[in-house]
Amino acid sequence: MSETHNNITLYLFRHGQTDWAKSGQHTGRTDIPLNDVGRAQAASLKEAVKHLNFDAVLVSPLSRAKETAEIAGLFNAETIIDDLAEFDYGKYEGLTSSQIREQVADWTIWTHDCPGGETLDQVAKRTENVIAKASKIGGTVALFAHGHVLRILTARWLGLSATFGQYLLLDPSTVSILSNDRGTPAIKLWNSPPY
């Protein structure tokens, strides 16, 4: 994938806190809004982005990402990209990892499928589509999305297996930057609170 990286820099913004994220529930396609803390977190992003110029802003169709982008002052309805939606957790939607492990003792999102949901490879393919779209746009592109999908996107940006995402912790309402170093895909900033 590195041939697509030379002409773009990606700013990754994970949405602010939701009640399900706070409780550790897997929140994939359930459209949970930001809570009060999440809205305050999103407001802190506005200061971080006010001096940045983006060639495009791409946003997940889920309200928590749209609301984060809107509060940060970067939302436009034409920027919705379905491929940025969070992992479809299937029958594990709304459950915590410990609840899932009562059924499958060694379960992680990185090593097991989600019955009725997406596979890691399917999500990886979606993130590759996002990278390709951003590459066609060129320049500096902002992405407002979700924890697992952004971690997988980063792994694919680096040319690594999607499972590498398990090593990339990503907190709500943080900024990460993907760029390149002389043609080699690189992480310039990771999991930074708004500066």
pTM for this one? 0.94
Q: Which residues are catalytic?
A: 15, 86
Ranges of each domain in the chain: 2-192
CATH topology of domain 2-192: Rossmann fold (3.40.50)
pLDDT at res. 4: 63
Inter-CA distances, 132 with 4, 5, 116, 129, 157, Å = 7, 9, 27, 5, 10
pLDDT above 90: residue 135: yes
d(CA 12, CA 148): 12
Ordered alpha helix ranges (H), the chain: 19-23, 36-49, 63-71, 97-101, 120-137, 147-157
Structure tokens, 127: 């993130």
pLDDT at 71: 96
- Percent of the chain residues topping a pLDDT of 90: 89
Residue 126 tokens read as 């979606």
